[in-house]
Amino acid sequence: MKFLGIELDEDKIPRHVGIIMDGNGRWAQKRGLPRIFGHKAGAKTVKLITETSVKLGIKCLSLFAFSTENWQRPKDEIKNLFKLLRNYIKKEENNLLKNNIKVLISGDISKLDEVTRNMLKKLEEKLKNNTGLILNLCINYSGRSEIINAVNKILNSGIKKIDEEKFEKFLYTKDLPELDFLIRTSGELRISNFMLWQLAYTELYFTKTLWPDFTPEEFVLAIKDFQNRERRFGRIPE
């Protein structure tokens, strides 16, 4: 199939794509604007990349929206980020419903203010019968805490022996396909505590583009790059 003028193999679309959306602050700084303007521009990219994922037939898109480490940012920036998230929900919920998108929240949202928390829960509820793209919003998320939470749940359940398959049932991603592809924008070559368990065999893609400048075209080119890789999962080439 051809998409935005780029030839893609329909049978090799990644099932699950993760994105570390980085570079909003620098995007704003370059323009002499406060950082929140970068986040606002970043929220527009979220909308575009989500819509492109639907058109490409990607099953799940995991977005790293707020990490447990982000609490160390100035209070004002944190407040504005959650306000932006609430505005995004208000503006987008009907589009998400219409586009058959289901939302999953990964992370400890008990630490969020009540209004935001309730909006997220209502959004999940409103979209729960949708069957298309799963938009996995990772909010107050960290890969290490996800693993530790899983271990604590296992200890509490009284299970005495565990294997990989059983362990995965205690992760936020329990009902999601394998994370095939991870994109990080803004030129940083780090994982920053994102999906540590899930990344075992994921193909990685790093681009210098700042998140607000990341276009559907670049997204499709990244997927084309993914399609040209040989995934061996530890085996030798056939």
- Residues identified as active-site: 22, 70
Number of residues interacting with ligand FPP: please give it, by CB under 6 A. 19
- The radius of gyration computed from the CA coordinates of the chain, to the nearest angstrom, equals 18
Residues 177-216 that bind ligand FPP (CB under 6 A): 186, 211
Q: How far is the CB of 43 from ligand FPP (least distance, A)?
A: 4
Q: Which residue is nearest to ligand FPP (CB)?
A: 25
The answer to whether 50 and 236 are in contact (CB under 8 A) is no
User: What CA–CA distance (Å, rounded) separates 67 from 174?
Assistant: 20
The answer to whether 104 and 135 are in contact (CB under 8 A) is yes
Residues 119-158 that bind ligand FPP (CB under 6 A): 137
Q: What are the distances in angstroms from CA 67 to CA 22, 40, 145?
A: 12, 18, 11
User: What CA–CA distance (Å, rounded) separates 15 from 118?
Assistant: 29
Residues 49-68 that bind ligand FPP (CB under 6 A): 63, 65
Give the number of other Cβ atoms within 10 Å of residue 87's Cβ. Answer: 12
Is 24 an interacting residue with respect to ligand FPP (CB under 6 A)? yes
Give 222's contacts (C-beta < 8 A, 6+ positions apart): 181, 183, 205, 207
Stretch that binds ligand FPP, among 2-10, 36-44, 103-111, 228-236 (CB under 6 A): 36-44
- Cβ distance to ligand FPP smaller for residue 70 or 193: 70
Stretch that binds ligand FPP, among 18-26, 93-101, 113-121, 151-159 (CB under 6 A): 18-26
The site for ligand FPP (CB under 6 A) is made up of: 21-26, 39, 42-43, 46, 63, 65, 70, 84-85, 88, 137, 186, 211
